[in-house]
Chain A
Amino acid sequence: MNSVPLLAGTDPAAVFAWRPDGPVSVGDYLAEARVLAARLPAGDFVLNLCHDRYRFAVGFAAGLLAGKTSLQPASQSAETLRRLHGAYPGLFALCDGPDDTLDLPRFDFPALFSARAGGENDTAAVDGKKAPKTEFAVPRIAADHLAAILFTSGSTGLPQAQPKRWGKLVANGRAEAEQLGLLDRPHALVGTVPVQHSYGFESTLLLALHGGCAFWAGKPFFPQDIVGALAAVPRPRLLVTTPFHLSTLLAAGLDLPPVDMLLSATAPLSAALADEAEARTGAPLREIYGATESGQLASRRTTAGEAWTPLPGIRLDQDGEQTIASGGHVEGRVALADRIELLPDGRFLLRGRQADLVNIAGKRTSLAYLNHQLAAIPGVVDGAFLLPDEAGPDGITRLAAFVVAPGLTPRQIGAALRERVDAIFLPRPLVIVDRLPRNSTGKLPRGELLALYAAHCADKIADGRR
């Protein structure tokens, strides 16, 4: 059977990841993954909730070695956990923090023996380092093994499972590394994005496994944390981030350690922010375009122009308004949610998104999904979400919702929604109305909702400053 190595490196002493207490070698990483693989509970599916990027990576490799599949939902809401629990028998959660997993069985990550302050298990790591190179063997995983299932919220309202086979994931990491020039010059990766989501998964974990890079184990959050993480890893450094995190970092006005490349994805970045980022850091800013369904598809240097260059092997075809991605690491043929204009030289332009889709700070969903969740709350008679016109290209625009729910308060509806959707999609404001302005066919024109929204904002200004 066709198989692909777990990682591309051949030197057990090479650095795989950087932790606050120092580097972890490829050899230690593999040894730790083998130990964990032997301890994982039975069951074919793992919900890897580890916050620490290195622990996630050990859990992911352990799952592969044990023939399991990693489930990576877009949210960890109570509703999501319940749904996954029902749909994937034998599912358990792998945790390195106090996350509430409800009644899902959980397995707490054991102490790392590669840690410097590891205590009684220290000898294991030392022995691993002394092992002669001839005994070092990278395990191979079947190329068609179902390594992960990533989830998107489809426009029908329910999360859609996107199966990812191991061979395709490897090809994605490899294609990205090649396109960004990392194969010749591996970088240390600092990611502000979670490793479970497709962009963070591809651009930190897959780039480490098959792109020759080593990642910082933390997920720096505040600007000061990002500065600290960058300073903790050697150059060349690559910051894996999003438009929102990047604009916040620059706005904080801190002195940044030298950075050698900036990577952004999840939403298109404005030319102004790209200019500022390059001027402040002296590093090229590259953007990645992709989707959970297809994996990564293209990149661009934002300051060099709007056009995107497809990753090696990627093919785009058009059928009317619809663009289909295939080839390379894409699983089958994937219809894209964006409107795309193909250029004669093989590059392309993004021309906007289908109206129903919502992208807030890189988290995607659809209005149909949100409306479905709202309508499912007991006591809600009718309701609709609205994404107001966006304030600025790199800012965050919040959703509004209008709800008909006699007997419920906005706070009660908010609490019920929090169970069902990611916090980022909670409406602000949530306005109770007597009825929605539906037309004679029952449709709810966006213009009518915008008028309701404008009226609410005007009322708020009139009341608020009284």
Chain B
Amino acid sequence: MSETPSPQAVEALLPEIAELIVDALNLDLAPADIEPDAPLFGDGLGLDSIDVLEIALVVGKRYGCQLKSDNEDNVRIFASLRALATYIAARRSQ
């Protein structure tokens, strides 16, 4: 399927995706406060399915890749900021 992105490419994406999330969801924290490997759902950042759709929308517009949830994939994609950045880095078209 998609090529595995380099760790550097993923690392470089982290701050801008963190900012995208904070802006899109109007979160009460600074982008740098999102730990790259902490869960975005549940006990971590506490995001829910509405947030996931909001993020999917801004990611689609910014990076030109549509998120798909075949086999409940979004649990994996949204496991952490780094997981989301890895997914986007592998599929972005812009």
Contacts and interface: CB of A to CB of B under 8 A. Distances in A.
A228 B30 CA distance: 36
B48 A251 contact: no
Interface stretch (A150-158, A305-313, A418-426): A418-426
A224 B68 contact: yes
Given A428-B28, A429-B28, A245 B66 contact: no
A244 B67 CA distance: 17
A440 B5 CA distance: 62
B46 A225 contact: no
A424 B57 contact: no
A130 interface: no
Interface in A237-261: 244-245, 248, 251-252, 254
Nearest to B66: A224
Interface in A215-274: 220-225, 228, 244-245, 248, 251-252, 254
Contacts, number: 63
Contacts of B74: 221-222
Contact of A223 (B46, B49, B60): B60
A454 interface: no
Contacts of B26: 398, 428
Interface string A420-458: 000110101100000000000000000000000000000
B42 A221 contact: no
A445 B56 CA distance: 38
B28 A252 contact: no
Given A396-B50, A415-B43, A418-B42, A225 B60 contact: no
A251 B50 contact: no
Interface in B21-54: 26-28, 30, 42-43, 46, 48-50, 52-54
Contact of A222 (B28, B42, B46, B68): B68
A398 B25 CA distance: 10
A244 B54 CA distance: 10
Interface residues of B, number: 23
A361 B50 contact: yes
B3 interface: no
A460 interface: yes
B69 interface: yes
A254 B66 contact: yes
Contact of A424 (B43, B50, B67): B50
A119 interface: no
Contacts of B66: 222-224, 252, 254
A164 to B, nearest CB: 26
A464 interface: yes
Contacts of A228: 68
Contacts of A361: 50
B27 A428 contact: yes
A67 interface: no
A224 B67 CA distance: 7
A228 B67 CA distance: 12
A423 B28 CA distance: 16
B57 A426 contact: no
Interface string B62-94: 000011111010100000000000000000000
B28 A460 contact: yes
B50 A418 contact: no
A414 interface: yes
A86 interface: no
Contacts of A415: 43
A221 B49 contact: yes
B48 A222 contact: no
A252 B60 contact: yes
Most A CB within 10 A of own CB, among B28, B42, B54, B68 = B28
B57 A423 contact: no
A423 B67 CA distance: 22
Given A97-B72, A252-B56, A415-B43, 19 more contacts: A221-B53, A221-B69, A222-B66, A222-B67, A222-B74, A223-B56, A223-B66, A225-B68, A228-B68, A244-B50, A248-B53, A248-B54, A248-B56, A252-B66, A254-B66, A360-B50, A414-B46, A418-B42, A460-B28
The 6 A-B pairs at the shortest CB distance, nearest first, are namely A423-B48, A224-B66, A429-B28, A221-B69, A222-B67, A224-B68
Interface of B: 26-28, 30, 42-43, 46, 48-50, 52-54, 56-57, 60, 66-70, 72, 74
Interface of A: 51, 97, 220-225, 228, 244-245, 248, 251-252, 254, 360-361, 396, 398, 414-415, 418, 423-424, 426, 428-429, 460, 464
28 contacts: A51-B72, A97-B72, A220-B69, A221-B53, A221-B74, A223-B57, A223-B60, A224-B66, A224-B67, A225-B70, A244-B50, A251-B57, A252-B56, A252-B57, A252-B60, A396-B50, A398-B26, A415-B43, A418-B43, A418-B46, A423-B46, A423-B49, A424-B48, A424-B50, A426-B46, A428-B27, A460-B28, A464-B30
